[in-house]
Amino acid sequence: MKKRILSVILSATVLVTSAAALTGCGSSDESNSEKVTITNVSYDPTRELYAAYNEIFAEHWKEKTGQEVEVTQSHGGSGKQALEVANGLEADVVTLALEYDVKAVQDAGLIEDGWISEFDKDSAPYTSTIVFLVRKGNPKEIKDWDDLTKEGVGVITPNPKTSGGARWNYLAAWAYADKLYNGDETKIKEFIKKLYENVLVLDSGARGATTTFVENGQGDVLVAWENEAFLSIQDYPDDYEIITPSISILAQPSVAVVDSVVDKRGTRDVATEYLSYLYTDEAQRIAGDNYYRPSNEEILKEYSDTFNLDINLVTIKDFGGWDEAQATHFADGGVFDQIYEEK
């Protein structure tokens, strides 16, 4: 019997050590080489933006230091991406959909406190807002948020609990109702509840919702990020139009250097430069070309033909910041859960 146990333990040890040896081979030091690679973990709808930006950044870095830089991109749902970085996916920089997701990486001990003021404008080099995408000719005459609560209007918006981006949608609707009812919370909740009762499909992510509305023809209005709405218009110019509501929210996708990773890999300089270069005129125009609102006011004005600049925008600060908004609205048992309690 003893022998048997011994052989069990022995074979277990062999397997475990060989597995450890295999994973150990993966890491190697990459600093001081001719070519540097950094990883930018981002969310879904920034694919085209960063594809263009990485090219001009590579040119800029080469000019400045003579070093080649290669940026590896990773895209996915913002919350999922944050989770992966927090669990050890090696990202030099994160460029996510909202501050709350970057905070999750911070809470994992990877980003130092104070990252929000490391770059200008709350570390949000480009912004967006929430608009409506409707079918051509606007058959249901959707003009503003209250039209979404009317009977017979089918609304498509992703689930704010699974999609970081969709939290902005929800908060924008809340901001409208807040003004309409002068802060009467019961009435605001009633409004939001009515709105979500009109939601036909509650997709898990923003791209999924766009597919449901555009490809599968569900619903009358898609509540979407402005940049996503413009991309749909670009693909199908004859089928859709964008409606800007009277009130919306300033969606600020946050960027941050992942401190523990850049310190380990020796890439702090290039990673910091990568993010601060986003604020240059050239990069701001790339953001504008990809339908994100440049945070530089001057450049933003160049795009006044594209964007409706008269829109009244609230910010997350009006909700007391992300921690508070999260706790009140999206946590288990929060307002969003309450409006879905059994009718």
Partner 1 sequence: MRKKANKRVIPFFGLSMGVTLTILSLVVLIPLASLVIFTAQMSWSDIVATITRDRVIASFEVSFLTSFIASAINAVMGVVLAWVLVRYDFPFKRLLDGMIELPFALPTAVAGIALTSLTANTGLIGSFFDKFGIQIAYTRVGITVALVFIGIPFVVRTVQPVLEKLDSTYEEAAGVLGASRIKIFWKIIFPEIRPAVFTGFGLAFGRCLGEYGSVVFIAGNKPYETEITPLIIMSELQEYDYSSATAIALVMLLAAFLILFGVNIIQARNTKILKGG
Site of interaction with partner 1 (CB under 8 A): 1, 3-4, 7-12, 15-16, 19, 79-80, 83, 86, 104, 107, 159, 161-164, 199-204, 208, 211-212, 215-218, 326, 330-332, 337, 340-342
**Cα separations (Å) of 8 from 89, 195, 211?**
34, 61, 53
> Minimal distance in Å, beta carbon 125 to partner 1?
25
DSSP secondary structure string, 28-57?
A: ---TTSSEEEEEEEE-GGGHHHHHHHHHHH
Rounded least distance, CB 258 to partner 1, Å:
17
Q: Min. distance of Cβ 175 from partner 1 in angstroms?
A: 22
Least Å distance, CB 66 to partner 1, is 41
Beta carbon nearer to partner 1, 37 or 211? 211
Answer for the pair 299, 281: CB distance below 8 angstroms, yes or no: yes
CA distance 255 to 119: 8
Choice between 63 and 342, CB closer to partner 1 = 342
Nearer to partner 1, 16 or 51 (CB): 16
By beta-carbon proximity to partner 1, the closer residue of 65 and 236 is 236
The amino acid sitting at 215 is E
Closest to partner 1 by CB, 208 vs 288, is 208
Is residue 74 within 8 A of residue 40, CB to CB? The reply is yes
SS3 117: helix
The distance of closest approach from Cβ of residue 278 to partner 1 in the complex, given in angstroms and rounded to an integer, is 26
Nearer to partner 1, 199 or 299 (CB): 199
Helices (H), the chain: 2-24, 47-65, 78-86, 99-107, 120-123, 164-180, 185-197, 206-214, 226-235, 259-265, 268-276, 281-289, 297-302, 321-325, 335-339
User: Is residue 311 within 8 Å of 130, Cβ to Cβ?
Assistant: no
Q: How far is the CB of 205 from partner 1 (least distance, A)?
A: 8
Choose between 60 and 80: whose C-beta lies nearer to partner 1.
80
Q: How far is the CB of 79 from partner 1 (least distance, A)?
A: 4
3-state class (DSSP) for residue 160: coil
